Chain A
């Protein structure tokens, strides 16, 4: 429990915040959605998230561009001889999926390098493992069992940050990657926050 749950949530949120600092228009749009949905004087709750489609699209777009497990972290092992695409894969071979390559492939995604959460507003794409164009938690039997809890946590915390603060740049945002166990930002994000109002500060 302790081991895998801790890093992925924090790493994904750091990437999202970096994108929010970089794309002020997207940040503003996401905040407007939150304000319209729950007003300024109340806290965001889990039950508000289904009413925040743009916020969810932002999270999906960051999962697409900066998946914390670009090679889906842990590979599989062929237990017997298997054919993939008519090609023989002998038993004992390690098989991996480069999800990062798929989510940056121009024959799969239009304009793959652009940060455009809007792409998920026009088309319903599930990130839970049914759509292989974007399966950041893996799929099948070995899909990440904590995916729902992880996403619920990221949505709630992101919504609360955007509701409470405006994130602005303190220095140019460096999106360099470093793949360790998860794919982290090479340089930690440093930004400024402007509190929006003090009503919720307690």
Chain B
């Protein structure tokens, strides 16, 4: 077919459009290289100028947008350690994880400054952790009156030496049970996979020390499954934690967190409610009874109580 003047014009026009598009994007890419090439990754870009007067910050030049996220897999501790060694940045290494600026210490002295210094008293809360009520529990609550109160309640009533020795008989009972299960598995299968036995023993100890001995086995299974689900959700990679967009829930983590949180509130809330109405909180040694028998001025609100019982640390 002989091209008409019109089609020729159209095809030339579309070609020139494509060429124009390609060249602009190439130019944009070249210019943006400069934008992404920042020591420690691009999340540090905004602060670059501040380092002209100060000591230099060392860190890898990492991927655009993602920063060092690709390195943060199941062996992150090893990869970060070898990066710090090869860059000579053991004392302090700067990284970008998405839009988050991060510094990492691989050295006892700077580690002490981070862990014990007053400048780092808060913890960043992952989105999934926030939904799962970690914010109201001691590990994540911002430093302040509520945190100090929680800390006092847990150190005096949950982890005091007396409390630990109160729990000795429980820990011994669970140990005897684990030894029995180990022997049974050895006899039936010829080998033992200890993980399941240890995990069940650990969960049993925790449930009894928190709620007391009279937890129905049905509730125990439900609580066990909830702990497992929570563990999986917290370990899930969540885009929202690294980029300031609230709609990036590709993997449904947020939705699952909400469902789990409601379940926790209803199951743990019900146990708290039952214990309150049965009224026998004095003289019992489990942590829930202890929380319920606190003097009025130290008493936690109901939802905080659920959060504290659920999360720990």
Chain A interface residues toward B at CB < 8 A:
1-7, 9-10, 13-14, 17, 43, 45-46, 70-72, 74-80, 82, 84-90, 92-102, 104-105, 108, 129, 132-133, 135, 138-146, 148-149, 152-153, 156-157, 160-161, 164-165, 170, 177-181, 183, 185-186, 188-193, 195, 201
Is there an interface contact between A93 and B102, defined as CB atoms closer than 8 Å?
yes
From residue A151, how far is it (CB to closest CB) to chain B in Å?
10
- Cβ–Cβ contact B195 & A189, under 8 A: yes
Residues of A near B310 (CB, < 8 A) are 1-3
> Closest chain B residue to A7 by CB distance?
B231
| Residues of chain B lying within 8 A (CB to CB) of residue A75 | 102, 123-124
Are the C-beta atoms of B115 and A10 separated by less than 8 Å? no
Q: Assess whether B54 is in contact with A87, with CB atoms less than 8 Å apart.
A: yes
Q: How large is the interface on B (under 10, 10 to 19, 20 to 34, 35 or more residues)?
A: 35 or more
Given contacts A6-B199, A149-B164, contact A93 B101 (CB under 8 A): yes
| Chain A interface mostly | mixed
* Interface contact A139-B112, CB-CB below 8 Å: yes
Q: Interface on chain B toward A: helix, strand, loop, or mixed SS?
A: helix
Residues of B within 8 A of A95 (CB): 102-105, 114, 120
CB distance from B275 to the nearest CB of A (A): 14
A97 and B111 contact, Cβ closer than 8 Å, known pairs A88-B50, A140-B116: yes
B116 touching A139 by the CB < 8 A rule?
A: yes
Cα distance A74–B155 when bound, in Å? 20
Q: Which of A7, A140, A156 contacts B172 (CB 8 A)?
A: A156
Residue in contact with A1 in the complex, picked from B110, B155, B158, CB distance below 8 Å: B158
Q: Contact at A74–B101, with CB atoms within 8 Å?
A: no
Q: Which residues of B contact A14 (CB under 8 A)?
A: 194-195, 198
- Give chain A residues whose Cβ lies under 8 Å from the Cβ of B119: 78-80, 82, 89
